[in-house]
């Protein structure tokens, strides 16, 4: 039974809070298993990768065959239909164009005291991209992660992708080549994260790891954070659609299912202003389920985690949106800009009735790697900034140090850090 709440229901707040607090993670405790794998890879390098590949992916990999060679990449590209390659190229070009506009500007100026101040942005040297293998093969995610890194200026981009039974998805390899990935290794799971973090005889370590994965990959990223940077610990997919009575209920139902089909723990929520429209959407959704190849997954997601919230005003809708802080927010209403203007927390916003969330997954140009599990309250989606770091700089001369130095001496002495104070005061004394 789908959860349906009206804003005026006497139990609305309690039911809505329960919806926010509902647990959608896995019950598997993988921490100790992942810790053992990481320790093994750190200690034995390639040997551990070879053993885990045989155990989990069921094929014999060697140190020499671990890296995908150019001939295999070329052959994979030839397997992809020309129309599909053209679609990948369109997506690649649009993603690159949007992310190119994100590149930050350096700052360099002198203030009123004559002190030179500024900051400069530089790319990280090496990044690792994890890509799920097997049934969960997403070339679009390769483009989103890899292009952001390359636009940022990352010189060495390494991709780790498992190949169950020795099989690699040709589309994933084609997307990697199109996006400029420098090295591809047929290693997956927590062991791939460990290899990218610590390095092995074959795989050199990177500085930051990005990309989605299963519970073991997510836990491995959590455990290596600090040794390397990571993008985020991704949770289940989410969509929140706000639709008025003028929207097409069939379209809205399809949009809700577009995320429900990802995973049985994904979440799709509808906010609407009309009880009758809510009924139409749910009827359309149930009818469309029957024709979906992933119907069982989408049905479980909708029945266990889906919800319909009926409100009476845009202000009420905005308040609920900010409390949910969704990964994806669709505004299928007459004036989407007005509601977007007051919403504070959403990973990505899709404006109007002709902008389904799925367009952002592939060809819009914005990044589809977005904060989940209400993380949009404090984080944004993957961007060029995730592959760059900011370094500030300061330059004083005799005159400017004389103006601001005495205050530094005083504050250092108040903190009991007398060597700090002396390092400034000696220069002040010598400058007299």
- Active-site residue (options: 183, 219, 282, 327): 327
Report the chain's C-alpha Rg in angstroms. 26
Is the residue at 381 inside a domain? no
pLDDT given at position 26: 60
Same domain, residue pair 172 and 315? no
Any catalytic annotation for residue 328? yes
pLDDT given at position 382: 97
Same domain, residue pair 204 and 340? no
10-residue averages of pLDDT along the chain (432 residues): 91 95 76 97 98 95 96 96 97 98 97 98 98 80 97 98 92 96 97 98 98 92 97 92 97 97 95 96 96 95 96 97 98 97 98 98 97 96 97 97 98 98 94 60
Same domain, residue pair 266 and 213? no
- Check: CB of residue 210 under 8 Å from CB of residue 300: no
> What CA–CA distance (Å, rounded) separates 139 from 172?
5
What's the CATH code of the domain at 278? 3.40.50.1980
- Active-site residue (options: 262, 305, 328, 345): 328
pLDDT given at position 28: 65
How far CA 214 is from CA of 74, 86, 217, in Å, comes to 29, 30, 5
114-161 pLDDT tens trace? 999 999 999 999 999 999 886 557 899 999 999 999 999 999 999 999
What range does the domain containing 59 cover? 31-230
pLDDT given at position 430: 78
Same domain, residue pair 104 and 220? yes
> What CA–CA distance (Å, rounded) separates 427 from 432?
9
Is the residue at 321 inside a domain? yes
Same domain, residue pair 80 and 183? yes
Same domain, residue pair 89 and 37? yes
Show the beta-strand stretches assigned E in 69-125.
Answer: 107-110, 116-123
Any catalytic annotation for residue 418? no
Query: What is the number of structural domains in the chain?
Result: 3
> What CA–CA distance (Å, rounded) separates 196 from 227?
11
Is the residue at 390 inside a domain? no
Query: pTM (2 decimals)?
Result: 0.94
**Residue 14 burial by CB count (10 A; 0-12/13-18/19+): exposed, middle or buried?**
exposed
Is the residue at 268 inside a domain? yes
């Amino acid at each position: 039974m789908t959860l349906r709440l009206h804003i005026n229901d006497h139990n609305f707040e309690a039911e809505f809070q329960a919806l926010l607090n509902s647990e959608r993670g896995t019950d598997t405790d993988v921490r100790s298993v992942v810790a053992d794998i990481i320790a093994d890879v750190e200690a034995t390098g390639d040997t551990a990768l070879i053993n885990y590949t045989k155990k989990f992916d069921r094929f014999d990999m060697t140190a020499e065959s671990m890296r995908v060679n150019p001939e295999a990449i070329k052959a994979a590209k030839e397997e992809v239909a020309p129309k599909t390659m053209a679609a990948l190229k369109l997506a690649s070009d649009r993603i690159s164009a949007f992310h190119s506009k994100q590149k930050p500007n350096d700052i360099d100026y002198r203030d009123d005291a004559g002190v030179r101040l500024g900051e400069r942005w530089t790319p990280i040297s090496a990044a690792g991209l994890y890509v799920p293998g097997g049934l969960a093969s997403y070339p679009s995610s390769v483009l989103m992660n890899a292009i952001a890194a390359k636009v940022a200026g990352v010189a060495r981009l390494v991709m780790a992708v498992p190949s169950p039974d020795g099989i690699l998805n040709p589309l994933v390899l084609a997307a990697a080549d199109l996006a400029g990935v420098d090295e591809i290794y047929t290693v997956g799971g927590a062991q791939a994260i460990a290899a990218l973090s610590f390095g092995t005889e074959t795989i050199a370590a990177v500085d930051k790891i990005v990309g989605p994965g299963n519970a073991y990959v997510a836990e491995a990223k959590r455990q290596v954070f600090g040794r390397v940077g990571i993008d985020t610990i991704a949770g289940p997919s989410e969509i929140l659609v706000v639709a008025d009575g003028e929207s097409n209920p069939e379209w809205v139902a399809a949009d809700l299912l577009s995320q429900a089909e990802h995973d049985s723990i994904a979440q799709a929520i509808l906010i609407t202003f009309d009880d009758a429209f809510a009924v139409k959407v749910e009827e359309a959704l149930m009818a469309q389920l029957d024709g979906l190849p992933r119907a069982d997954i989408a049905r479980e997601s909708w029945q266990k985690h889906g919800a319909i919230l009926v409100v009476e005003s845009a202000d009420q809708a905005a308040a609920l949106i900010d409390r949910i802080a969704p990964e994806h927010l669709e505004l299928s209403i007459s004036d989407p800009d007005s509601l977007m203007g007051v919403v504070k927390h959403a990973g990505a916003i899709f404006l109007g009735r002709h902008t389904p969330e799925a367009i952002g997954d592939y060809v819009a140009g914005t990044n589809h790697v977005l904060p989940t599990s209400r993380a949009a309250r404090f984080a944004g989606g993957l961007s060029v900034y995730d592959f760059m770091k900011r370094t500030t700089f300061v330059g004083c001369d005799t005159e400017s140090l004389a103006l601001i130095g005495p205050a530094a001496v005083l504050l250092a002495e108040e903190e009991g850090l007398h060597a700090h104070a002396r390092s400034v005061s000696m220069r002040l004394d010598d400058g007299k």
